[in-house]
Structure 1
Amino acid sequence: MKKILITGAAGFLGSHLCDRFVNEGYHVIGMDNLITGDKKNIDHLIGLDNFEFIAHDVTNYIEYKGNLDYILHFASPASPIDYLKIPIQTLKVGALGTHNLLGLAKAKNARMLIASTSEVYGDPLVHPQKEAYYGNVNTIGPRGVYDEAKRFQESITMAYHRFHGLETRIVRIFNTYGPRMRLNDGRVIPAFMGQALRGEDLTVFGDGSQTRSFCYVDDQVEGIYRLLLSDYAEPINIGNSHEITISEFAEEIIKLTGTNQKVIYKDLPVDDPMQRQPDISLAKKVLDWEPKIGREEGMKKTFEYFKGLSQEELHKSEHKNFKSHIKK
């Protein structure tokens, strides 16, 4: 049985990856320090013979006594509210955490895939974004703690690949959504869903003309799975190339939820990208991958998940574990 370590295992995307690899017959070691992850996302896996959970912060030394075949590094705050509240931890997990895991992969002769992001492109001057585009990032802006953590993560991963001959993979993830997203984390879909379910007006930042491209989580997981098992070491975009403005998307949410809220407009945050659309021609060519689930279908599934949350969860504004890490 192949063994795979998945960091950020209790997070939104990490927990879905745990599901996939458990179902594929791998022995999965999930690792998370639960700053932004939630143990309930993997409760259904606890007790399975081929799943184990380790509570650990990857910015500290990582020791695992058994063999490992693969490592997926998905440990990182991933939403603006998260990384603006814990900026130093965000930088540390991208730098120290990635370094620790690359060292572990080298020691175990394991193949390692890192979760990069479309944010490496910053506020792009090229549209749609191809992997060869170097980006337009403000290194010292408030979003720089996340953007630069991911850009460094890519650099050190390629250095280990070239210098040590380590088997590495890099996925650049575009906006992904689905069940287990955390409400009120600053990302557009849970923000809109939470506001609609609470009867609040939907908040659009800027004039709403900025665009995003949303990929359903099952499609994202399939792309990551194929990339891990491929022979391709350069970064690959995985996302849905269907682009929509935020204003149009807000109207879709109002229609989907059957609410009659207004859309209100507030100032655009610093360095918020105006366009976000992946060029996925490389993923189609190398991985024979493209998204299969349309936004209408995916949003219905996501809305059903959010509707099932308790009132306490709907109104919770801050993650339970933030305060203990603010000063670190």
Structure 2
Amino acid sequence: MNKTILFGGSGFLGPIILEKYPHIVSIGRSPLPSHLKNKHIALPSLDDLTVLDSLDFDKMIFLIGSSNHHVINTKPTMGIEYNVLPLKKILFYLQKRKIKKFICFTTILLYDVNKMTLPVDETQPVNPYINNDYVFSKYLSEELIRFYSDKVPSIIVRFSNIYGPTRLVRPDLVPTLIQKALSPDEVTVWSKKPVRDFLYTPDASDAIIKLLDTDYTGPVNLGTGTSVSVGRISKIIETLSGKKIKDLGKPVSGPMNFVCDISLIKRLTGWEPKNSIEVGLKETYEIMKGYADECRWWEKDTQ
């Protein structure tokens, strides 16, 4: 494990992994958050990866990309630029290196909502052709992994709805609701009806590290195997913050009901999520409350 490197250490999930596993070396353009003790190697651009030539590593966690599907779906090339080209560049480089494992990340939104049965396992059909640039970019990412599969042993982690504390302005439900709850503004949600599989970032980080040590290659779902409604999420955050969350009753994208079958990752690693939704949301709220006055998300452009 001491030969593991991680790209994307200044983003959403990267700092959680690095904090829990300080021996992992960070590679990237942006400096790490100041509280992290991991070694960090500056890499100004993925167009020049020669800094890796002298680095002794055999496993890589690749978190470069964008999950901001709201914006990606309004920009004609953003999905390719953020989610496909960076992956292509790193895989092209890695084909000449003998590594044991490469892990990258896509989404459970790839599954065909009209054909899936709950809980959804990795064998169920996908459908990238749903007029969603974000989903299509993640499909192309998976195709790149398959193209290089004989040279780069890889795991594709298909994330469910991942949440946790962050200083970033993100489009995800939980951080958006908490940031609004900590602001002077009204808190709204498009709809409280959808049911999703919500995974806390510390649990996700443990699962990813365990996957590094498996011989498996291919896609694997990462969720909790349990479903929680947006209404329940809202109720918990209302209790924590003392602010009401207004249901706007608007239509939402994606399936109205989704839960992962996590039998595969359990079988491969023995991993199971440790934190209930109540514990995860409480910790997330308290941590974000601690730096709300510093971040002042409500003053920033969410686009």
TM-score, scaled relative to structure 1: 0.82
Report the Cα offset of residue 104 of structure 1: 2.1
CA distance in 2, matches of 1:182, 1:276: 26
Contact 2:195 2:230 in 1 (8 A): yes
- Tell me what 1:203 maps to: 188
- Tell me what 1:13 maps to: 13
User: The residue matched to 2:285 in structure 1 has which SS?
Assistant: helix
- AA paired with 2:278? E
- Tell me what 2:58 maps to: 69
User: The residue matched to 1:91 in structure 2 has which SS?
Assistant: helix
CA distance in 2, matches of 1:87, 1:159: 24
Match of 2:153 among 167, 176, 193: 167
Contact 2:9 2:27 in 1 (8 A): yes
Cα shift readout 1:122-176 (whole Å, capped 9, x = no counterpart): 646422211111224444x2xx2221121121122122113x3x22122111111
- AA paired with 1:112? F
Paired residues for 1:194-273 under 5 Å: 194-206=179-191, 208-259=192-243, 261-269=244-252, 271-273=253-255
Is 1:89 matched up with 2:71?
A: no
CA gap 1:189/1:87 in 2 versus in 1, 3 angstroms: farther
- Tell me what 2:178 maps to: 193
- Tell me what 2:123 maps to: 132
Contact 2:198 2:277 in 1 (8 A): yes
Is 1:99 matched up with 2:88?
A: yes
TM-score, scaled relative to structure 2: 0.88
Give the number of equivalent residue pairs: 298
Contact 2:109 2:254 in 1 (8 A): no
CA distance in 1, matches of 2:42, 2:175: 28
Structure 1 unaligned spans of 5+: 323-328
- Tell me what 1:31 maps to: 28
Report the Cα offset of residue 94 of structure 1: 2.4
Report the Cα offset of residue 42 of structure 1: 2.4
Structure 2 unaligned spans of 5+: none
User: The residue matched to 1:252 in structure 2 has which SS?
Assistant: helix
User: The residue matched to 1:169 in structure 2 has which SS?
Assistant: strand
CA distance in 2, matches of 1:105, 1:245: 41
Contact 2:210 2:269 in 1 (8 A): yes
Report the Cα offset of residue 85 of structure 1: 5.9
Paired residues for 1:102-113 under 5 Å: 102-110=91-99, 111-113=101-103
CA gap 1:84/1:313 in 2 versus in 1, 3 angstroms: farther
- Tell me what 1:313 maps to: 296
Contact 1:175 1:213 in 2 (8 A): yes
CA distance in 2, matches of 1:216, 1:189: 10
Is 1:182 matched up with 2:164?
A: no
User: The residue matched to 1:135 in structure 2 has which SS?
Assistant: coil
CA distance in 2, matches of 1:87, 1:70: 33
- AA paired with 1:240? T
Report the Cα offset of residue 8 of structure 1: 1.7
CA distance in 1, matches of 2:102, 2:182: 39
CA gap 1:103/1:146 in 2 versus in 1, 3 angstroms: same
User: The residue matched to 1:43 in structure 2 has which SS?
Assistant: coil
Cα shift readout 1:238-278 (whole Å, capped 9, x = no counterpart): 1112212212321221112222x241315324x43322311
CA gap 1:205/1:86 in 2 versus in 1, 3 angstroms: same
CA distance in 2, matches of 1:80, 1:199: 26
- Tell me what 2:35 maps to: 44
RMSD between superposed Cα atoms in Å: 2.4
CA gap 1:160/1:306 in 2 versus in 1, 3 angstroms: same
CA distance in 1, matches of 2:111, 2:11: 23
CA gap 1:280/1:262 in 2 versus in 1, 3 angstroms: closer
CA distance in 2, matches of 1:274, 1:136: 16
User: The residue matched to 2:203 in structure 1 has which SS?
Assistant: helix
CA distance in 2, matches of 1:287, 1:3: 19
Report the Cα offset of residue 232 of structure 1: 0.6
Report the Cα offset of residue 80 of structure 1: 3.0
CA gap 1:31/1:276 in 2 versus in 1, 3 angstroms: farther
User: The residue matched to 1:237 in structure 2 has which SS?
Assistant: strand
Match of 1:148 among 136, 139, 142: 136
